[in-house]
């Protein structure tokens, strides 16, 4: 065999033997290191170690004093003080805001003089719209419920809107809450009945008797609500005398009249009142005034034909 090949073979054999020996030494060294580490990791329980651990525990549990340079505790103390001051300022701001809101709401409360005007205006509202309702019924009877229906505006104007009531802002609402709340519910029901009446009147297939009943219900409710408003005025200590209300409604009626309206007054016969029903305008002695106003309102009522 040539010398060159023999040299190469010897080189590989020596390398293999060297690597095996190295692996064996490394394995032995690793086992020895692990054994020594395990021995070192095991705590040496003796008197010196126990004394040392006790001393460390004592130092860790001793209270610190601010004359010592323990910066961590100083930082924590300062941050706590800042948080406490911030919390106090937030609380104080909340209290001031609550007082401001309360003061603002108090200023918005409606005083007794304005309350009286609101209630009187509601009486006016029902008085005028009863005249409109009666004129509308007379015109529909003449022209035919199956041929025409009234313009929506006439029924929508009957309704009492929540912003017109404003009972929740009366400054004496706690003492009269029950009366005010009941009246609000009655107004809400009246509005619903006005909506139902409008739907029926706009339906050509709805029986005439149903439409007449709806109109009669609205007329009755306006009388009924007027009396309830007078009861509330009495409870609130306002002047609700017949003389005062009559003078107010007479003035209101005259404000709607002029030479033109008198000339255009309809030449119709207003049916007599029902004997079984008490009419507030009759009690006030305003029967002729109401009948005359119905004749004036009659030409103004707009009817729309069914297609």
| Maximum Cα interatomic distance, the chain, rounded to a whole number of Å | 152
pLDDT for the residue 227: 93
pLDDT tops 90 at residue 132: yes
Maximum average pLDDT range among 5-14, 85-94, 156-165, 180-189: 180-189
- What's the confidence (pLDDT) of residue 63? 55
- Condensed to tens digits (0 to 9), the pLDDT of residues 107-126 reads 456 777 888 888 999 999 99
Cα 184–chain centre separation: 17
What confidence score (pLDDT) does residue 245 get? 93
More confident site: 149 or 63: 149
What are the residues whose beta carbons fall under 8 Å from the beta carbon of 154, sequence distance 6 or more? 132, 133, 136, 301, 302
Interatomic CA distance for residues 100 and 95, integer angstroms: 9
Which is more confidently placed, 179 or 148? 148
Please give the pLDDT value at position 102. Answer: 55
pLDDT tier at 19, thresholds 50, 70, 90: very low
Q: Is residue 180 scored above 60 in pLDDT? A: yes
pLDDT in the model for residue 11: 39
Could you count the other beta carbons within 10 Å of the beta carbon of residue 266? Answer: 18
Q: What is the pLDDT of residue 69?
A: 54
Band of residue 211 on the pLDDT scale cut at 50, 70, 90: very high
Residues 191-207 have a mean pLDDT of: 95
Q: What is the mean pLDDT of the chain?
A: 77
CA-angle at 251, arms to 185 and 112, nearest 5°? 45
Kindly state the average pLDDT of the residues 256-265: 68
Q: Is the pLDDT of residue 163 over 80?
A: no
pLDDT of residue 8: 40
Indicate the SS3 state at residue 303: strand
What pLDDT does residue 44 have? 53
Q: What percent of the chain has pLDDT over 70?
A: 66
Contact 218, 131 (CB under 8 A): no
Where is average pLDDT lowest: 80-84, 162-166, 176-180, 186-190?
A: 162-166
Give the burial string for 97-130 (b: 16+ CB within 10 Å, else e).
Answer: eeeeeeeeeeeeebeeeebbebbbebbbbbbbbb
Q: How far is CA 156 from the centre of its chain?
A: 25
Q: The whole model's pTM is what?
A: 0.64
pLDDT over threshold 60, residue 199: yes
Q: What is the pLDDT of residue 49?
A: 67
Token output for 243: 């003389």
Q: What is the DSSP letter of 257?
A: -
If you average pLDDT over residues 47-64, what whole number do you get? 63
How many residues are there in the chain?
Answer: 307
pLDDT at 54: 66
Q: Which residue has the higher pLDDT, 24 or 122?
A: 122
Residue with the two structure tokens 């009187």? 120
Using alpha carbons, list the distances in angstroms from residue 141 to 168, 209, 211, 215, 221.
Answer: 41, 11, 11, 12, 21
**How far is CA 186 from its chain centroid?**
21
């Amino acid at each position: 065999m040539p010398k060159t090949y023999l040299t190469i073979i010897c080189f590989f054999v020596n390398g293999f033997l060297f690597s095996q020996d190295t692996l064996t030494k490394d394995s032995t060294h690793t086992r020895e290191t692990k054994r020594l580490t395990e021995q070192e990791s095991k705590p040496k329980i003796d008197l010196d170690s126990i004394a040392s651990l006790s001393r460390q525990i004592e130092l860790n549990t001793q209270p610190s004093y601010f004359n010592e340079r323990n910066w961590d505790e100083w930082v924590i103390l300062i941050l706590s003080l800042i948080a406490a001051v911030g919390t106090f300022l937030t609380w104080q701001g909340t209290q001031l805001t609550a007082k401001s809101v309360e003061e603002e709401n108090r200023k918005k409360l409606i005083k007794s003089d304005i309350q009286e005007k609101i209630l009187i205006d509601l009486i006016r509202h029902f008085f005028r719209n009863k005249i409109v309702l009666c004129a509308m019924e007379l015109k529909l009877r003449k022209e035919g419920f199956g041929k025409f229906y009234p313009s929506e505006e006439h029924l929508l104007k009957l309704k009492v809107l929540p912003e017109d009531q404003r009972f929740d802002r009366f400054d004496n609402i706690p003492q009269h809450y029950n009366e005010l709340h009941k009246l609000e519910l009655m107004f809400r029901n009246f509005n619903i009945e006005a909506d139902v009446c409008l739907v029926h009147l706009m339906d050509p297939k709805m029986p005439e008797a149903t439409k007449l009943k709806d109109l009669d219900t609205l007329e009755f409710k306006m009388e009924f609500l007027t009396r309830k408003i007078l009861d509330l005025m009495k409870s609130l200590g306002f002047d609700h005398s017949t003389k005062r209300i009559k003078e107010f409604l007479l003035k209101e009626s005259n404000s709607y009249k002029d030479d033109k309206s008198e000339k255009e007054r309809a030449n119709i016969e207003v049916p007599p009142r029902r004997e079984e029903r008490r009419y507030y305008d009759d009690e006030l002695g305003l029967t002729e005034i109401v009948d005359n106003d119905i004749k004036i309102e009659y030409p103004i009522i707009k009817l729309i034909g069914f297609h």
